[in-house]
Structure formats: C-alpha cells, structure tokens
Amino acid sequence: MTSELKPKIVVLGAGVAGLTSALLLARTNLYDVSVIGKFLPGDLDIEYTSPWAGANWMSFVKDDEVLERYDRITYAEIARLAKEHPEAGIWPKKVIEYVRADDLIKNNPLLGGLLDARPWFADMTPNFKQLTPAEMPKGYVQGITYDSYCFNPLIYLPWLVSQLLSHGVSVRARTVSHISEAFAHHASGQPAHLVVNCTGLMACRLGGVMDDKVYPGRGQTVLVRNHAPAMYDITGCSDADDELTYIMSRPAGGTILGGCYQKDNWNATPDPNMAQRIIRRCLEICPELESEGKLDIIRHNVGLRPSREGGPRVEKEKREEGWVVHNYGAGGAGYQSSYGMATHVVELVGEALAS
Ligand SMILES: Cc1cc2nc3c(=O)[nH]c(=O)nc-3n(C[C@H](O)[C@H](O)[C@H](O)COP(=O)(O)OP(=O)(O)OC[C@H]3O[C@@H](n4cnc5c(N)ncnc54)[C@H](O)[C@@H]3O)c2cc1C
C-alpha cells in the first residue's frame, strides 16, 4: 500500500511509550505514522520522565494477567535487542533482590511483587534462584536472583528515533494544549484518522483528557561513573518509608544509585541530604562500587514517574474528532512494559480503524 492510502496516525508523546508504540505501528506497514512531542530524546525536563529512568527490567507485577503480559512480551523483545542490536543500549545484567524483615511484615504495597519468594516470572527468567540465608548479607530474610536487562535511556531513546526514521516516521517537536489539536499534526499536512496519546504524567493536564487518576511518583537518583557487578534492589530502608535502595549499571557507562518513590511530590530539585542517604545505602549493599576508587559523581537526578490509580490506561476512545488510543500511566514500569503496552496499542488501533 502506498503511504497516501494508509490510515494516518499521530502519536502524541516521544517518551519510551510513544516511541515504542510508533515503532510497532510502523513495523506493521499498515499505517502512515508521525510522532510529535513537546520534548524529544536529547531534551531534559521534569515534564519528560523517560530520560531520568534507571532503567531495568525488574517486574513488580502481582496477580495481574494484563500487566504480566506487558512485562513478558517486553522481556522477550529486549533479550532479542540485547543480542542482535548492541547499539540500542540494552545489556544483560544479573538482578539481586533482598527483602528486609520489616518489609515482609509491613507488606508495603509500593514494593509489590518484590516480596514474592517465587514471583510470576520465576520460570521465565534464566538462572532464577531463591537465595539461602548464607548467600545474603545480614538483616535480610528473603532474596532472589535472575538474569535480566538494563537500558541506558540516553542511548536507547535516540536509537528508537533512528529506527523510526528508517521506517519513514517523522519525529517533530510540537506542543498541543488539547488532545483534539493532535489530529492536525500529521506530517503529511492531512488530518489524522487516529491519535495515540502517550503524554505520560502530563495526561493529567492535557485538555480533553485531564486524567485526575494520574499523579507523580517522584524518584531521586545519583549517577556515578563507577561500576557495579550486578543490579541490586532492596525493599525499603530504615531512613524513610518512601525511600528505596537500588543500583543499576548501564551499558556504555554510568551507574544509577537510587532512590525513592514519593507520591504526589512534584519537586524537581534534588535533596542533598537524600543523596547522601542513597549513597550510603548503596555502598553498604555493594562496597564493590568503590573498588576502583572513590565514588565519582556525574549528576544528581530527579524524575517523576507517571503513576496512575488503578494502573496504566491502555484503551481506545471514540471522540468527535476521531479515535484516540491511550497509552500512559506506566508508573515505574514504562521501560519494562514498553513492548507489551505497545503491542496492546497496535491491537486497539486495528480494532478502532476496522470499525
Ligand atoms: C528515577 C526513575 C527510575 C525509573 N526506573 C525505571 C526502571 O528501572 N524500569 C522501568 O521500566 N521504568 C522505570 N521508570 C519509569 C519510566 O521512566 C516511565 O514509566 C516512562 O519513562 C514513562 O514514559 P512515557 O513515554 O509514558 O512518558 P514521558 O517519558 O514523560 O513522555 C511523555 C511525552 O509526551 C509529551 N507531551 C506531554 N504532554 C504534551 C503536550 N501537551 N503536547 C505535546 N507533547 C506532550 C512529552 O513532551 C513527552 O515527549 C523510572 C522512572 C524514574 C523517574
């Protein structure tokens, strides 16, 4: 089919959700796709979450088949990319998760599936193993390890753009104040048949959407030049109820030390005291970080996870201007669920345009 005959789709949003949705739509060869976003890969802004992510695959889904499917599909695809496309900035890395006794008792809902000794993905992830007490540092009551993957968002997001450009998809900086305006932003100059809404956290402020279930889950991290032998994650910490401890060594440099999950907190400024606590906790769990010398700090980061009461919104909506397929609200799982959510978008687009 020539591109003039293909249905025209505008993807609104150029974070990991928008770029992955656009890529999977373009790969079908059925649609003429354009991407627009206020911020694009290369930009750094508190309204744009994707560049601030760790980011790894470490599913915390519990008893939810839809979310499990998102994470399962994504795991398979990133395993393929890590093998066949090293230039994408994804590499294999072992995960080690420890559970503190206090968290087992509190059952902190923010920590979800981390508390499962045998989570849903145990049979899917190679080298999954429950740790014995002898294999864990003192103070932890449960632990698991398995093979997973780490993204470098600063490499991966531009790589997604390069894939889109090679499929003939245009990616342009545009801002809209209402979802209906997006229909007028197809690169062909003609009105779009359908808009895919991937506006992340800003879905709570976008005219025509204004989703009041969406809220920020603030995350603060420290990016260092040092390297860690594995990715670590600890349930909670004794410093504060909304602080966490995690370590992710990225492909092509840099290790992310985290972190926190602060609900409804929009503050974009790093807290220097929290940064000290993060560093202390990460060194306690992984002293090897300093094996080649003192911690070498590159930057202090703050990002806002696009969280949503009831989970992400992936659904189609018929509006006066045409069909909208929503894909936002992934919270702290936007990378690890990205291919699964985008696969669901492709299904919904097919249904919407067939009707
Ligand atoms: C500290 C931290 C660590 C994280 N770690 C992980 C991890 O390890 N694994 C994982 O899977 N996830 C992780 N996440 C979560 C992940 O980063 C997010 O779920 C994901 O980036 C959300 O992507 P998105 O595309 O939905 O939103 P965004 O990246 O925010 O993109 C939204 C896009 O929409 C555009 N937009 C919004 N409104 C408008 C408008 N009105 N007009 C035009 N454009 C608009 C924006 O400009 C942008 O292009 C982490 C997040 C943080 C903050």
Q: What is the distance in A from the centroid of ligand 1 to the CA of 221?
A: 15
45 burial via Cβ count (<10 Å: 0-12, 13-18, 19+): exposed
Whether 177 is covered by a domain: the verdict is: yes
List Cα–Cα distances, 34 to 89, 141, 156, 192, 193, in angstroms: 24, 50, 19, 9, 12
Residue ID of nearest Cα to ligand 1 atom 18: 334
Cα 141 to averaged position of ligand 1 atoms, centre (Å): 33
CA distance 40 to 35: 10
Q: Which atom number of ligand 1 is nearest to the Cα of residue 220?
A: 1
Q: Which atom of ligand 1 is nearest to the CA of 174?
A: 43
137 shares a domain with 221 = yes
| Contact assessment for residue 349 and residue 322, using Cβ atoms and an 8 Å cutoff | no
Atom of ligand 1 nearest to the CA of 332: 15
* Domain around 98: 91-149+215-308
Q: How far is the CA of 97 from the centre of ligand 1 (A)?
A: 24
CA of 101 to the centre of ligand 1 (A): 32
Question: In the prediction, which pLDDT does 100 show?
Answer: 85
Task: Identify whether the C-beta of residue 195 lies closer than 8 Å to the C-beta of residue 31.
Answer: no
User: Which residue, 247, 343, 336, 238, is CA-closest to 286?
Assistant: 247
Give residue-wise pLDDT tens across range 221-238.
Answer: 999 999 999 999 998 888
β partners of residue 96: 145, 232
Q: Report the separation in Å between the CA atom of 342 and the middle of ligand 1, taken as the mean of its atom positions.
A: 14
| Residues 220 and 267 grouped into a single domain | yes
Q: What is the pLDDT of residue 105?
A: 63
In tens, the pLDDT along 234-252 reads: 988 889 989 999 999 999 8
Please check whether residue 231 is in contact with residue 93, taking contact to mean a CB–CB distance below 8 angstroms. Answer: yes
Indicate which CATH number applies to the domain containing 251: 3.30.9.10
Q: Are 108 and 235 members of one domain?
A: yes
In angstroms, the CA 151 to CA 336 distance is 9
The per-residue pLDDT for range 85-130, each reduced to its tens digit, is: 999 999 999 999 998 877 776 655 555 545 677 899 999 999 999 9
Give pLDDT, residue 144.
95
Phi and psi angles of residue 32, each rounded to the nearest 5 degrees, phi first: -105, 105
pLDDT per residue, tens digit, the chain (355 aa), is: 677 789 999 999 999 999 999 999 999 999 999 999 999 999 999 999 999 999 999 999 988 999 999 999 999 999 999 999 999 999 999 999 998 877 776 655 555 545 677 899 999 999 999 999 899 988 888 899 999 999 999 999 999 999 999 999 999 999 999 999 999 999 999 999 999 999 999 999 999 999 999 999 999 999 999 999 999 999 888 899 899 999 999 998 899 999 999 999 999 999 999 999 999 999 999 999 998 779 999 999 999 999 999 999 999 999 999 999 999 999 999 999 999 999 999 999 999 999 8
Show the ligand 1 pocket: residues with CB < 6 angstroms.
12-18, 37-39, 48-50, 52-56, 175-176, 198-202, 206, 219, 221, 259, 303, 305-306, 328, 330-336
Q: How many domains does the chain have?
A: 2
**pLDDT at residue 333 in the model:** 97
Paired sense of beta strands 32-37 and 8-12, if any: parallel
Q: Kindly state whether residue 22 falls inside one of the protein's structural domains.
A: yes
d(CA 225, CA 222): 10
CA of 330 from ligand 1 middle (Å) equals 8
Residue 252 sits in the same domain as residue 138 = yes
